[in-house]
Chains A and B, each alone.
Chain A
Amino acid sequence: MEIVVCIKQVPDTEAPIRIRPDGSGIDETGVNLVMNYYDEHATEAALQLRERFGGTVTLVSVGPERAREALRQGLAMGADEAVLVSDPRLARADHLQVARVLAAVIAPRRPDLVICGKLSTDDNAALVGPALAALLDLPQATAVSRLEVAEDATHALVHRELEGAVEVLELPLPALLTVERNLNEPRYPSLPGIMKAKRKEIPVLTLEAAGIDPEALGTPGAVLERLAPPPARPPGQRVDGQDPDAAVEAIVRYLAETAKVL
Chain B
Amino acid sequence: MAGGIWVLVAREDGAVRRLTYELLGKARELAGQGRVAAVLVGGEGGVDAEALGAYGADEVLVLAAPALAAYTAEAYTAALLPLLAQERPEVLLIGSTAQGRDLAPRLAVRAGAAIVTDCQTLAREDGALVAIRPMYTRKAIGTVRLLPGRLHIAVVLPGVFPVPPRRDRRAEVRRVPVPPEVGSRARVREVRALERETVPLTEADIVVSGGRGLRGPEHFALLEELARALGGAVGSSRPPVDSGWVPHDYEIGQTGKTVAPQVYLAVGISGAPQHLAGMSGSKHIIAINKDPQAPIFQVADLGVVGDLFEIVPRLTAAVRRRKQAGP
Report chain B residues within 8 Å CB of A99.
105, 109
Query: Once the chains are docked, how many angstroms separate the CA of A218 from the CA of B315?
Result: 58
**Quick check: is A68 within 8 A (CB to CB) of the other chain?**
no
Cross-chain contact of A170 among B136, B144, B187, B274 (Cβ < 8 A): B187
Residues A168 and B145 in contact in the complex (CB < 8 Å), given A13-B254, A130-B105, A222-B114: no
Stretch at the interface among A14-22, A74-82, A196-204: A14-22
Partner of B322, one of A37, A161, A166, A262: A262
- Determine the residue in chain B with the shortest Cβ distance to A100: B109
Query: Assuming A124-B133, A222-B115, what are 10 further A-B pairs, CB within 8 angstroms?
Result: A125-B117, A134-B110, A140-B106, A164-B249, A165-B193, A167-B188, A169-B187, A221-B150, A222-B116, A255-B230
- For residue B297, CB closer than 8 A to chain A, the reply is yes
Tell whether A96 pairs with B263 under 8 Å between CB atoms, given A221-B115, A221-B150. Answer: no
Interface of B is mostly: mixed
B205 touches A261 (CB 8 A): yes
* Stretch of B28-36, B86-94, B194-202 lying at the A interface: B194-202
- Partner of A17 from B117, B139, B184, B300 at Cβ < 8 Å: B139
In A1-28, which residues have CB < 8 Å from any B CB?
Answer: 11, 13-14, 16-17, 19, 26
Q: Which residues of B contact A16 (CB under 8 A)?
A: 139
A13 and B274 contacting across the interface, CB-CB below 8 Å: yes
Mark out the residues of chain B between 219 and 241 whose CB falls within 8 Å of any chain A CB in the assembled complex.
230, 241
Question: Which one, A14, A170, A245, A254, contacts B189 given CB within 8 A?
Answer: A170
Is A161 touching B138 in the complex (CB atoms < 8 A)?
no
Which of A47-55, A141-149, A205-213 sits within the interface?
A141-149
**CB–CB B310/A244 < 8 A:** yes
Minimum Cβ distance to chain A for residue B186 (Å): 4
| B297/A236 in contact, CB under 8 A | yes
Query: A242 within 8 Å of B by Cβ?
Result: yes
Contact A224 B142 (CB under 8 A): yes
Answer whether residue A33 sits at the interface, using C-beta atoms and an 8 A cutoff: no
Q: Are A254 and B140 in contact (CB under 8 A)?
A: no
B273, CB-defined interface residue at 8 Å: yes
Q: Distance in Å from the Cβ of A238 to the closest Cβ of chain B? A: 5
Q: Does A241 contact B (CB under 8 A)?
A: yes
Q: Offer 18 A-B interface pairs, CB within 8 angstroms, sorted by A.
A: A17-B139, A128-B105, A143-B98, A143-B101, A143-B102, A164-B12, A164-B201, A168-B189, A169-B187, A222-B146, A224-B143, A228-B141, A230-B280, A231-B141, A233-B298, A238-B297, A239-B302, A255-B263
- Does the CB pair A222–B105 fall under 8 Å? no
Asked if A134 and B117 sit within 8 Å, CB to CB, the answer is: no
**Closest CB-CB distance, B319 to chain A, in whole Å?**
7
Q: Does A195 contact B (CB under 8 A)?
A: no
Contact of A248 with B314 at beta-carbon distance under 8 Å, contacts A14-B273, A170-B187 already known: yes
Least CB distance from B190 to A in Å reads: 4
Tell me whether A259 and B186 are in contact in the complex, defined as CB-CB below 8 angstroms, given that A181-B255, A223-B144 are known contacts: no
Question: Closest CB-CB distance, A140 to chain B, in whole Å?
Answer: 6
Contact between A162 and B98, CB atoms less than 8 A apart: yes
- Binary interface encoding of chain A residues 77-114 relative to chain B, with 1 for a CB under 8 A from any of its CBs, else 0: 00000000000000000111001000000000000000
Measured between beta carbons, the chain B residues less than 8 angstroms from A150 are none
- Residue A225 interfacial (CB < 8 Å): yes
Q: Within 8 Å CB of A224, what residues of B?
A: 142-144
The complex places the Cα of A222 from the Cα of B146 at a distance, in Å, of: 5
Interface residue ranges, A against B (CB under 8 Å): 11, 13-14, 16-17, 19, 26, 37-38, 94-96, 99, 121-131, 133-135, 139-143, 145, 157, 160-172, 175, 180-182, 219-231, 233, 236-242, 244-245, 247-252, 254-256, 258-259, 261-262
- Set of chain A residues within 8 Å of B156, measured between Cβ atoms: none
In the complex, chain A residues whose CB is within 8 Å of the CB of B135: 122-124, 227
Complex interface: chain A residues within 8 A of B248 (CB): 145, 161, 180-182
* Stretch of B43-51, B56-64, B283-291 with 4 or more beta carbons under 8 angstroms from chain A: B283-291
Collect the chain B residues with CB atoms within 8 Å of residue A236's CB: 285, 297, 299-303
Q: A96-B108, A96-B109, A228-B143 are in contact. Are A247 and B98 (CB under 8 A)?
A: no
User: What's the nearest-Cβ distance from chain A to residue B282, in Å?
Assistant: 10
Could you tell me which B residues sit within 8 Å of A by CB distance?
Answer: 12, 72-74, 77, 97-99, 101-106, 108-110, 113-118, 130, 133-147, 150, 184-194, 196, 200-203, 205-206, 230, 241, 248-249, 254-255, 262-263, 273-274, 277, 280, 283-286, 288, 290, 297-307, 310-311, 314-315, 318-319, 322-323
By beta carbon, the residue of chain B nearest A243 is: B306
Q: B142 contacts which chain A residues (CB < 8 A)?
A: 123, 224, 226-227
Q: Separation in Å of the B240 CB from the closest CB of chain A?
A: 13
Closest to B199 in A: A164
A167 adjacent to B191 (CB under 8 Å): yes
Smallest CB gap from B193: residue in A: A165
Q: Chain B contacts of A38 at CB under 8 A? A: 255
Q: What residue in chain A is nearest B306 (Cβ atoms)? A: A241
Which of A14, A127, A157, A164 is within 8 Å of B105, CB to CB? A127
Determine the residue in chain B with the shortest Cβ distance to A129: B105
Q: Is the CB of B145 within 8 A of A223?
A: yes
B323 CB contacts on chain A under 8 angstroms: 262
